[in-house]
Amino acid sequence: MTMRSNHAHPDGLDPEAMDHPLFQATIRPHQSLSREGFRMVMWACCLVSAVVSVKMMQAGFWPVAGFFGLDMLALFIALKVSFRRGRSFEEVMISPIAVLLTRVTHRGERHEWRSNPIWTKLTLVEDEEYGLQTLTLVSRREQVVVARDASPPERAVIADGLTRALERAKKGY
């Protein structure tokens, strides 16, 4: 049985809320092609390749068919690598007591960066033509880039959320 006191914490802090996120986001790389789109692209390219290869072989240019086969293999490998890399993601979370960035690679490897929100600041690199290029969390002498795979407009939204959460954490939420 847990007893709770009706008295507030002397500093005005709620110990129950200390680890609740002020900001939390999962950032995934943009995938412009779905699995069905991948099949359609591969079938269309293979069909064009086969038709052109047959015409070239009939005209006596038989090596062209082999090169088209190599092109299809290279396209297949490139798209498969792209899909595999699309499984990577970043999770960023700011609570009153911690800033946590977890990066998970497409192989499932986890890398974490932690800091105190009081000592953490967000630096932005913007380009007039291309928008927000880089978001970096800096704490003491350590720094880590956030939202590497996001587009500039998505980075701007993330930067706004991170800035507000860091300000709230520094003010005691």
Specify the DSSP element, H or E, that contains 24: strand 23-27
Average pLDDT over the chain, rounded to an integer: 86
Q: Looking at the domain assignment, is residue 94 inside a domain?
A: yes
Q: Is the pLDDT of residue 25 over 80?
A: yes
In sequence order, what DSSP letters do the residues of 72-133 get, joined into one string? HHHHHHHHHHHHHHTT-EEEEEE-SS-EEEEEE-TT--EEEEEE-GGGEEEEEEEETTTEEE
Secondary structure letter of residue 150 according to DSSP: S
Q: Is the pLDDT of residue 67 over 70?
A: yes
Which of 10-24, 69-83, 117-131 is predicted least confidently?
Answer: 10-24
Task: Report the domain count for the chain.
Answer: 2
Confidence of residue 66 (pLDDT cuts 50, 70, 90): confident
- pLDDT of 40 reads 93
Mean predicted confidence (pLDDT) in 11-38: 77
Other C-beta atoms closer than 10 Å to the C-beta of 20 total 12
Same domain, 137 and 108: yes
Mean predicted confidence (pLDDT) in 7-29: 70
Domain C-terminal end among 64, 85, 106? 85
Q: Is the pLDDT of residue 65 over 90?
A: no
Q: Is the pLDDT of residue 141 over 90?
A: no
- pLDDT of 3 reads 39
Q: Looking at the domain assignment, is residue 98 inside a domain?
A: yes
Where in the sequence is the domain holding 164, given as residue range(s)? 88-170
Q: Is the pLDDT of residue 98 over 70?
A: yes
Residue bearing the bigger pLDDT, 161 or 62: 161
Same domain, 115 and 164: yes
Same domain, 165 and 95: yes
- pLDDT of 4 reads 43
Q: Looking at the domain assignment, is residue 5 inside a domain?
A: no
Same domain, 114 and 140: yes
Residue 102 maps to which CATH number?
2.30.29.30
Same domain, 164 and 95: yes
Same domain, 97 and 61: no
